[in-house]
C-alpha cells in the first residue's frame, strides 16, 4: 500500500477584520484511505494580535495515511471562529483546501468565506453580533451546494506542509 505522511502547521489567519480568532480543522479522505497515526481534527488556540490584523497560530499537523488508491485524496476543512470581548464565540468563516499531490514543501493559502444572510439577519448581526452559519458543514466541499450560497470573503489562512510519499510507485503512481 502507498503511504502519505503530512507534516506541517497551520500558520495563521490574515486580512480578517477582527482578531481573537481560532480555527477548528479536520482532514477528510475517501473510503479507500486508512489513518495510521496522528489526529485528523483539532482546534488552535485563540490568537490576539494588533499587528496587521493577523492571528498567529503555528498549530502542528502530523498525519500518516495508507491507501491503495489516489481517489479521495485528503483535503483539509477549516472553520474560523471569533472570540469577542463579551466572551461569545461566533462562526467567522469556512474554507476547504485539497492537499498537494506532489511530495515536498508546500506553502498553501486557503481563502475563507462565510454565508451572507438576509437583510434582517444582517441587522441583527450588526447590533447583536454573530453571523449566519451553515446548517450542514458538509456543504463546504459540495460543488452543487456551495455554489448556491451567497457568500462574502473574510480573509485567508496560511498553511505550511511537507508531503512525503512511500511505496506509491509499486501501484503505478508516478510523481515528480
Q: How many residues does the chain have?
A: 176
pLDDT of 174 above 80? no
Q: What whole-number distance in Å separates Cα of residue 33 and Cα of residue 75? A: 12
DSSP 167: S
* 88-97 confidence digits (pLDDT tens): 888 888 999 9
pLDDT of 176 above 60? no
In sequence order, which residues have a C-beta less than 8 Å from that of residue 40 and are 6 or more positions away? 26, 27, 63
* 55-64 confidence digits (pLDDT tens): 899 999 999 9
The answer to whether the CB of 20 falls within 8 A of the CB of 158 is no
Q: Phi and psi (nearest 5°) for 7?
A: -130, 135
In sequence order, which residues have a C-beta less than 8 Å from that of residue 140 and are 6 or more positions away? 77, 94, 95, 96, 134, 146
The pTM score is 0.85
Domains and CATH numbers, the chain: 2-114+155-171 (2.60.40.150)
pLDDT at 124: 74
Q: Which three cell numbers stand for residue 169?
A: 510507485
Q: What whole-number distance in Å separates Cα of residue 49 and Cα of residue 26? A: 25
Computed over every residue of the chain, the mean pLDDT equals: 85
Q: How many CB atoms lie within 10 A of CB 126?
A: 8
Least confident of 51-65, 124-138, 160-174: 124-138
pLDDT at 53: 78
pLDDT at 160: 97
Q: What whole-number distance in Å separates Cα of residue 125 and Cα of residue 97? A: 28
pLDDT at 132: 67
Using CA of residue 93, residue 58, residue 25, residue 86, what is the dihedral sign?
Answer: negative
The answer to whether the CB of 27 falls within 8 A of the CB of 110 is no
pLDDT of 130 above 70? no
Amino acid at each position: 500500500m502507498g503511504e502519505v505522511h503530512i507534516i506541517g502547521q497551520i500558520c495563521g489567519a490574515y486580512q480578517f477584520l477582527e482578531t481573537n480568532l481560532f480555527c477548528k480543522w479536520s482532514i477528510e479522505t475517501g473510503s479507500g484511505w486508512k489513518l495510521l497515526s496522528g489526529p485528523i481534527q483539532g482546534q488552535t488556540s485563540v490568537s490576539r494580535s494588533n499587528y496587521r490584523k493577523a492571528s498567529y497560530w503555528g498549530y502542528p499537523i502530523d498525519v500518516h495515511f495508507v491507501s491503495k488508491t489516489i481517489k479521495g485524496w485528503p483535503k483539509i476543512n477549516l472553520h474560523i471562529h471569533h472570540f469577542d470581548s463579551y466572551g461569545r464565540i461566533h462562526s467567522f468563516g469556512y474554507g476547504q483546501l485539497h492537499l498537494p499531490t506532489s511530495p515536498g514543501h508546500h506553502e498553501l493559502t486557503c481563502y475563507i468565506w462565510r454565508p451572507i444572510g438576509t437583510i434582517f439577519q444582517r441587522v441583527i448581526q450588526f447590533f447583536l453580533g454573530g453571523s449566519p452559519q451553515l446548517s450542514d458543514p458538509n456543504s463546504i466541499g459540495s460543488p452543487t451546494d456551495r455554489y448556491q450560497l451567497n457568500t462574502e470573503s473574510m480573509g485567508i489562512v496560511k498553511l505550511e506542509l511537507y508531503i512525503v510519499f512511500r511505496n506509491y510507485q509499486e501501484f503505478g503512481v508516478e510523481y515528480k
